Structure 1
Amino acid sequence: MTALPEDSVEKWKSEQASLKQKLVEGDTEEWQTAPGFKGLERVGGVDLSFIKGDDVNACSQLVVLSFPEMELMYEDSQMVTLSAPYVPGFLAFREVPCLLEALQRLERTQPNLLPQVVFVDGNGLFHYREFGVACHLGVLAGLPCVGVAKNLLQVQGVIRSEEHQSQIRALKKGGDSFPLKAASGRVLGEALRSSDSSTKPIYVSVGHRISLDTAVRLTHACCRFRVPEPIRQADMRSREYLRTHFPSADTCG
């Protein structure tokens, strides 16, 4: 973790606040409210993988899968050099530029394969200032986005308490969920048991142009295992790219 000058932090906060004004939390597409998500054909997933010990160079990955089959339609693996350090609450400034570039590259070259929704390995509204990486990417790309985190971000009064653990134990089957309610009473996301075989939940929140209910139902529909398939495939393929091009190195997501 790198400490940023205070003026840089304030600049990022200001930019987040400006972009947040463009955030749309509700459903905007017909497929989002259609039975069985009729009309949804392409779901995207993005992720970054690193060589252990190198937090600057990464493999930026975009995949597009068919829905509901979850078959690969498109993939893009690119080595990128990240210019911004990791600062909690500002992950988007580090990761979004290369992920946005991958989506724009696809739109230029094969616009018919552009995803109708993008799953992001990270949080959306469930964030310190209610504008995480999934919101940032969604607003800049102009696409519906869903944030899916594998670990709980302890933020706005949501903590890994005994009550939280009890709520997790009460999730009996795939599709069961409970709200992540901030101290203010605002629901920022949901903890979702994504499959019958996975007892550890994932944390789903709105990125852009989708409602929380739709985001949770769609996430569950895209899960074969614990993590939704678009993100799982992006993670697997970015790691495989690094293993192929840097065979002696260990990788991390």
Structure 2
Amino acid sequence: MFSPPEEDLVHQWESEQDRLRQQVVDVDTEDWQSGPHFSGLDRVGGVDLSFIKGDDVNACAQLVVLSYPELQVLYEDSQMVALTAPYIAGFLAFRETPFLLEALQRLQKNQPELLPQVVFVDGNGLFHYREFGLACHLGVLSGLPCVGVAKNLLQVQGVYKNEEHQSQIAALQRGGDSFPLTAASGKVLGKALRSSDKSSKPVYVSVGHKINLDTAVRLTHSCCRYRVPEPIRQADCRSREYLRTHFPAADTETKE
């Protein structure tokens, strides 16, 4: 178990988030982002960490790269890692980013032709306490376009899972429908997306880096065969399978 976080560690992380947040680019930067069908986009990545239930140190860090638009797996990298930072709400990136970044760097070194042109992150981007979630952190440090897709609503900056939010979800009629996640300040931090006709429960999409929010939502929808976009779903499935294979007696879990 990790010892309770020191107050100076939190201050240090806040300062680092503030510094890195200045480098986030929340507009489209790539040619493939401009067209309605993402012409020129060939490879989409997904990252995730899966844990052995009851073990908050050892995890499987997973990277997958899929072809686009076929969404067939081109590459996968599963690595057991030992997390060294404690979990503190709002600072997940300091716990997970180093290992996800290492996976991207291994790919860049060994098979650069398979490096993804955009990475889907199981977590939030600008939709965050300090507008700098895991997808932003990984995006800035990797230099790659990143999209944050969370399965559960982070109740932050005046966005709550209340009756109004539930009525907005009910109004999403079909896959591709969305509504903005608007902070108390009036700033739109992300969107709730009905990603599939078959799933009425939305996912929460936010900008990580080098992409516009509307583009991120369109791209997320285009990568969904089910509720969760395929790059993240494949990363989740393969990391769980890795743990089941190597630790057959252990239950697995992923963050929500």
Counterpart for residue 252 of structure 2: 251
Q: Give the AA of the match of 2:48.
A: D
Deviations 1:208-230 (A, max 9, x none): 00000000000000000000000
Matches within 5 A, 1:114-133: 114-133=115-134
Deviations 1:101-153 (A, max 9, x none): 00000000000000000000000000000000000000000000000000000
Question: Is the 1:147–1:207 contact (alpha carbons within 8 Å) kept by the matching residues of 2?
Answer: yes
Counterpart for residue 41 of structure 1: 42
User: TM-score under structure 2 normalisation?
Assistant: 0.98
Counterpart for residue 87 of structure 1: 88
SS in 2 for 1:25: coil
Shift of 1:21: 1.0
- Which segments of structure 1 move beyond 6 Å, counting only runs of 4 or more? none
User: TM-score under structure 1 normalisation?
Assistant: 0.99
Query: Structure 1: 5+ residue runs without aligned partners?
Result: none
Counterpart for residue 236 of structure 1: 237
The 1-side partners of 2:82 and 2:56 are apart by 9
Aligned length: 253
Shift of 1:2: 6.2
Matches within 5 A, 1:151-170: 151-170=152-171
The 2-side partners of 1:243 and 1:21 are apart by 40
SS in 1 for 2:101: helix
Counterpart for residue 191 of structure 1: 192
Matches within 5 A, 1:196-235: 196-235=197-236
The 1-side partners of 2:81 and 2:120 are apart by 20
Query: Structure 2: 5+ residue runs without aligned partners?
Result: none
Same amino acid, percent of matched pairs: 76
Shift of 1:4: 1.3
Q: Give the AA of the match of 2:55.
A: D
Deviations 1:2-49 (A, max 9, x none): 641111100000000111111100000000012300000000000000
The 2-side partners of 1:182 and 1:106 are apart by 37
Counterpart for residue 17 of structure 1: 18
The 1-side partners of 2:91 and 2:33 are apart by 29
